[in-house]
Amino acid sequence: MEGPLLVARPVPRSTPAGRRRPDDVPGEGSDGPAETAQALLPAGTGDARAVDRDVSAAVGRVLDHVLADRVARARAVDPLFGDDLAERVARFTRTGGKRVRPRFVWWALRACGGGDGPSVAAALRIGAALELLQTCALVHDDVMDGSTLRRARPALHVDVAAQYGGAAPSARAERLGGAAAILAGDLALAWADDLLAETPLAPRSARAVRRLWADMRTEMVAGQYLDVHGQATGSRSLPRALHAACLKSALYSVERPIALGAALADADDATREALGSAGRCAGLAFQLRDDLDDVFGDPRHTGKPAGGDIREGKPTYLVALARARAEAAGDRRGLEVLDRSLGRGTLTPADLEEVREVLTRTGARSTVEGRIGRLVAQGLRHADGALLDPEGGRRLRRLLASAADGAAPPRDARPHDPHDLHDPHDPHDPHGTEPDPAVPVPPPADGAGEAGR
């Protein structure tokens, strides 16, 4: 005899009294955009000047507001799902991040003259959505790379496996951890898309914002695929390493967030182009710094073990350059160290030190350091070519300059001297010449540059 039919309970809406439900906006017959936008923000986050004082905190309050609702709704669907996945996604997103991407959205908005009620709400909510998108990327990345630590804590898949280690054989617990992390990343992506879809946007900027968001998600996945493809195939191509860095970080971490802020401010085409070029340069510098920090950085500051990219065999520009230099110099010992170390999960601290010595001796480390400096300077020159709000422009320039510092970008305090990095009008500014990454990087032709494998 069949048991009773189980019917899922509808998820209750936890909309505060007097506030419009997210699925009611934006649409015909709704309240004005300013009223609707303010209704979607927690108290104390609707004033642009207040947000200026601490962008990260304002985005954090929006995340707290949104995630409390999402977790409650997840628990209403199923308590186990809510506790094991939704709560972990919320905790990961709320803690440990530097809020770099939301700050690029905000300061691009302010640099382009934006700051009315609807644009403040949209910028903060899009910033929160970017943090959820980053959660998706990092949780999935840790599964693909087999990383055990993230932000100095157990990676999500490791945490779930440990939770169930006493209730299931270790192999099953590990498979559960991996599956849970994939689903957690999917949930974070769904919440990010929901947050954007429920954000009222002015008609003049809605199409541009949604197109940028769609392109950014695709570029992020493409960059990650090139990353894992390079690990599997042993690619050491310099052009492909740069192309992957451009997709995975330059666009996703800096250029697209800046473009989103400029679109919300309805900036003109010339301003968007100049800021896009600035973001491309700073974003590539950001990724190159991350590559250096992975090998040479202090785990206490990076939040993950040193040498992860080496153990995973990632095709970074730093390693590809060192290999090309070693081949050109006939450095057989350097090539041997790289060949036996890349992709070796059991790499010891002594082995990693040998890799560091090769990266330093071939000049790859110093070359990448120099390139980072030139890229940042180029990005600032591109930003100088845009007609920006004086205060917002200073804050954006400072954030661009700090993106490749190898540590959290500075808080939003006003700099003492916003032009202390270089004078763009000084003909003796010694930055040298550098191929401009603001020109879109085409994908390498099949086999191009693969001689270095």
Kindly state whether residue 24 falls inside one of the protein's structural domains. no
Structural domain contains residue 212: no
Element (H, E) at 242: helix 238-245
User: pLDDT class for 41, splitting at 50, 70, 90?
Assistant: confident
Co-location of 155 and 51 in the same domain: yes
Report yes or no: 107 and 257 within 8 Å, Cβ to Cβ: no
Q: Give residue-wise pLDDT tens across range 214-244.
A: 999 999 999 999 989 988 988 878 898 889 8
Mean pLDDT of the chain: 83
Same domain, 188 and 243: no
Structural domains counted in the chain: 2
Domain final position from 200, 235, 252: 200
Q: Which long-range contacts (CB under 8 A, 24 or more apart) does 353-357 make?
A: 355/295, 355/307, 355/310, 356/295, 356/296
| Number of Cβ atoms within 10 Å of the Cβ of 387 | 13
Residue 28 lies in a domain: no
Is position 332 within any domain? yes
Domain extent for 120: 35-200
Q: Given this model, what pLDDT does residue 12 score?
A: 43
pLDDT band for position 38 (50/70/90)?
Answer: low
- pLDDT for 22 equals 39
Question: Does 29 map to a domain?
Answer: no
% of the chain beyond a pLDDT of 90: 66
**Average pLDDT of the residues in 113-127:** 95
Question: Same domain for 286 and 351?
Answer: yes
pLDDT at 24: 38
Asked whether the predicted pLDDT for residue 359 surpasses 50, the reply is yes
- Identify which of 36, 24, 29 has the alpha carbon closest to the alpha carbon of residue 118: 36
Same-domain status, 349 and 230: yes
* Domain end residue (candidates: 171, 200, 229): 200
The CATH number for 311's domain is 1.10.600.10
Q: What is the pLDDT of residue 302?
A: 77
The yes-or-no verdict on residue 57 having pLDDT over 80 is: yes
Same domain for 223 and 165?
Answer: no
Q: Is the pLDDT of residue 30 over 60?
A: no
Q: What share of the chain is helix, strand, coil (3-state, %, to 5)?
A: 65, 0, 35
- Residue 156: pLDDT band with limits 50, 70, 90: very high
Quote the pLDDT of residue 423: 33
Tell me, yes or no, whether 163 and 264 share the same domain: no
The predicted pLDDT at position 43 comes to 67
- pLDDT reading at 258 higher than 60: yes
By C-alpha distance, which of 212, 49, 48 is closest to 126?
Answer: 212
Residues 276 and 383 in one domain: yes
**pLDDT of 443:** 53
Tokens (6 digits) for 297: 């950085």
Residues, the chain: 453
Q: Of 200, 232, 256, which residue is a domain's last?
A: 200
pLDDT band at residue 152 under the 50/70/90 scheme: confident
pTM over 0.85: no
The SS3 assignment for 113 reads: coil
149 DSSP β-pair partners: 154
405 has a pLDDT exceeding 50: yes
- Residue 34 class from Cβ within 10 Å (0-12 exposed, 13-18 middle, 19+ buried)? middle
Whole-number Å distance between alpha carbons of 252 and 217:
8
DSSP string over 362-401: TTHHHHHHHHHHHHHHHHHHHHHTS---HHHHHHHHHHHH
- How far apart CA 83 and CA 74 sit, in angstroms, is 9
Q: What is the mean pLDDT of residues 247-271?
A: 95
Whether 193 and 234 share a structural domain: no
Q: How far apart are CA 366 and CA 399, in angstroms?
A: 23
